Amino acid sequence: MSSKPGRITIRGSEKAPLADARAVGPVPADERMEVTIRLRSKNPLSTLSANHVADDVTPNQRSYLSRAELADAHGADPQDVAKVVSFAQGHQLVVVETNPDQRSLVLSGTTASFNAAFGTSLQNYEHAEGTFRGRVGSLTVPSDLEGIIEGIFGLDDRPQARPHYQRHQKGGIASEVASPGSFTPTQLASLYNFPSGLDGSGQCIGLIELDGGFRPADIRAYFSGLGLPTPNVKAVRIDGGRNHPTNANSADGEVMLDIEVAAAIAPKATIVVYFAPNTSQGFLDAVNKAVHDNTHKPSVISISWGSAESNWTVQSMTALDQAFQAAAAVGVTVCVAAGDNGSSDGVNDNKAHVDFPASSPFALGCGGTKLVATGQKIASETVWNESVASSATGGGVSDQFPLPTYQHNARVPVSANSGGKAGRGVPDVSADADPATGYQVRVDGQNAVFGGTSAVAPLYAGLLALMNQKIGKPVGFLNPLIYGSLSGKGLFNDVTSGNNGAYSAAAGWDACTGWGSAVGAKLLAALNI
């Protein structure tokens, strides 16, 4: 939809139709909804380099901002907030919340008011998994708001992401018996030589969840079985999201996998679960809440949800990437699963795709391996690829983000697509993710074995919590270090065998497993100087 005279288009707001969805009629004019408006920062986040948080220096050489300092330096300008409030009120929209610290406003109003305010036409759609309120095309605002509003989220509430976990099947049936070759998280910690004598005390790990829930009884039973103390798990509600467990075949599997893996590695860390709806609005609001959470103050955030870059608007990817930059500023590491559908990332167009938000240059992208152990030692570790289309690690080259400076010497290939271009390479690190050699967990009263890169993100989150505890200062943005001064020092088990479809493993960094799986104690020693 082109902008009218006196109006400008919000850059990156163009929304494509969902492939298998059909419009069934306009959203009723009087239907009410809430929408999040993302505003520009008073100072560009690129100024973060002044504190060395994005440089190839160890944590002890970095100077992190407090969350209050982040808000003061990089929040929204009060004059910008006032302009948007005036605009909203002029379109009969109610300002529910102003949050300059997170550069956001929440507006409430009717379909008719939002259609008029943002130059769109909301429709109801049906698709294979249900119904949603949606739009196509771009959004517009009056020209005097040009540059002030950077994103508008919540008009379209289609499902945005999927959880990246897979339950081990035996003969096509989900098994409640631990499979031969599967592991508890603590066994994997031992195989990967995670540092001993640490328990995550004083640390907080934030988990982003877009559906599902946890049952305290399951958590107590699981950790009792591991001989570990029951972790302190808290739930935070975002945009109406809540802890809502149902059954073991739902997104509960994702929630419990994340909690159980992270807390098994760092049992004394506080685990805060940010529950939000599975929409672009919910995803962004949950991440911003976790980054700016001055109550729980997570030092690590784990995200096991995502989808191919082609499923996102540019405004969504830009906003989440900026949120991850803000996380780096306050010393928060963001670990993100790289996807479970090989180099296609589940898109049936015969092209290579990478998963977002793992493809954000400010995320620690977490890929998957197949690990086989003999006794207390790793016998082999190869690229996870049981089925290139449906059970294999994600990885590849971003179509959205250019090659970051820290990857210039990593020999990232151009995209495998015709006329391939250079871009951000994914993943950065990896660990066991094959369901056949997966993680023993408990979900809704059932014991099960889960795999997927969903397990790798909380595994690294737990490791980072241990390292933060030992160093006494957050590790923060790890990528510049592992691609820079720490590369080639034997801090990772290099995975050199296998492929995920379009990309193959090789010595050094590759677009299947990144640098490989961390040798935890060695990585800690290299960082703690």
Average pLDDT over every residue of 497-507: 98
In sequence order, the β-bridge partners of residue 274 are 208, 236
Tens-digit pLDDT profile for residues 27-49: 999 999 999 999 999 998 775 66
End-to-end C-alpha distance for the chain, whole angstroms: 55
| pTM metric for this prediction | 0.97
Active site residue 359: no
Q: Which fold has domain 162-527?
A: Rossmann fold (3.40.50)
Letter for the amino acid at 92?
Q
Active-site hit among 156, 209, 254, 340: 254
Active site residue 258: yes
Provide the pLDDT confidence category of residue 513 given band limits of 50, 70 and 90. Answer: very high
Whether 283 and 305 have beta carbons less than 8 Å apart is answered as yes
CA distances 5 to 2, 87, 121, 139, 151, Å, are 10, 17, 18, 14, 20
- CA dist 84 and 46 (Å) reads 24
Contacts of residue 424, defined as CB under 8 A and 6 or more positions apart, other chains included, come to 354, 359, 360, 361, 397, 398, 400, 401, 402, 403, 404, 407, 412
Whether 484 and 406 have beta carbons less than 8 Å apart is answered as yes
Percent of the chain with pLDDT over 90: 93
Tens-digit pLDDT profile for residues 244-270: 999 998 999 999 999 999 999 999 999
Can you give the residue ranges of every domain in the chain?
7-45+77-153, 162-527
Active site residue 254: yes
Tens-digit pLDDT profile for residues 358-381: 999 999 999 999 999 999 999 999
pLDDT mean across residues, the chain: 95
Placement of tokens 């088990």 in the chain: 493
- CA dist 223 and 248 (Å) reads 18
pLDDT value at 173 more than 70: no
Provide the pLDDT confidence category of residue 52 given band limits of 50, 70 and 90. Answer: confident
Active-site hit among 359, 454, 510, 517: 454
Active-site hit among 218, 258, 309, 381: 258
CA atoms 334, 456, 467, 286: torsion sign: positive
Q: Quote the DSSP letter at residue 266.
A: S
- CA dist 335 and 338 (Å) reads 10
